[in-house]
Amino acid sequence: MTAAVVRSTLADLLREPDDGRVRELHDGEIVVLPEPDEDQTWHVRLLDLMLGVGAPDSVEIHHSTGVHVDEANFFVPDLLVVRKGTPFHDNGFDASGVVLAVEVLGPGTHHADRILKPWRYAEAGVPYFWRVDQGPRLVALRLDPTLGEGHYIYDTELVPCENAEVPHPWVAQIDMAEFVDPPSRR
């Protein structure tokens, strides 16, 4: 006899306690995210600053704000760039208005941030996805219309201490040397 799988919904997620913990819905399963470590928090702050320098007036940059990816997936990326006027409801923005989702790998988020989330964001039509890996290393992906819907390709990859422009979704100067040495270690 096989056990029935009970899938959670967004309504179930919204009924979770308001205890300060970040929760996401991954393929119908409620996942409690681990607290970010010092490096992850610093990397998010740096990316926010570096992205904000050249951001067009038509977008907004948000921290830890939800995205309605599809019925079984609700993610809370570390940084989220949305077009102004994108509908917001039930603690998140519609994926149709998301320009860029940024995930910074932290303790316990490797699998979701490297595999599940880019795949689901691509399927939802989010044009750009950035990930900061350990090292630190920035991997910038973009949708490739020649491959059909839902497929990212590598756009840019920056390694530790590299300083370069990332061309999409707008030109942003990213200095990876800043990611290596957080102020608390100086």
In a domain, 18, yes or no: no
Q: What is the pLDDT of residues 134-158, one digit of tens each?
A: 889 999 999 998 887 789 999 999 9
In a domain, 119, yes or no: yes
In a domain, 70, yes or no: yes
In a domain, 6, yes or no: no
pLDDT over 60 at 12, yes or no: yes
3-state secondary structure 69-88: EECCEEECCCEEEEECCCCE
In a domain, 46, yes or no: yes
In a domain, 45, yes or no: yes
pLDDT over 60 at 186, yes or no: no
Q: What is the pLDDT of residues 85-120, one digit of tens each?
A: 999 999 999 999 999 999 999 878 888 998 999 999
Mean pLDDT for the chain?
A: 92
pLDDT over 90 at 38, yes or no: no
The confidence score (pLDDT) of residue 110 equals 84
Q: What distances in angstroms separate CA 24 from CA 36, 55, 60, 72, one per listed residue? A: 15, 27, 22, 10
Q: Quote the number of domains for the chain.
A: 1
Q: Which domain holds residue 141?
A: 35-185
Q: How far apart are the first and last CA of the chain?
A: 59
In a domain, 7, yes or no: no
In a domain, 151, yes or no: yes
pLDDT over 70 at 63, yes or no: yes
pLDDT over 90 at 181, yes or no: no
The first and second tokens of residue 88, run together, are 């917001």
Tokens 């149709």, located at residue = 96
Instruction: Identify the band that residue 183 occupies on the pLDDT scale cut at 50, 70 and 90.
Output: low
> Taking residues 33-51, what's their average pLDDT?
92
The CATH number of the domain where 77 resides is what?
3.90.1570.10
Above pLDDT 90, what percent of the chain?
Answer: 77
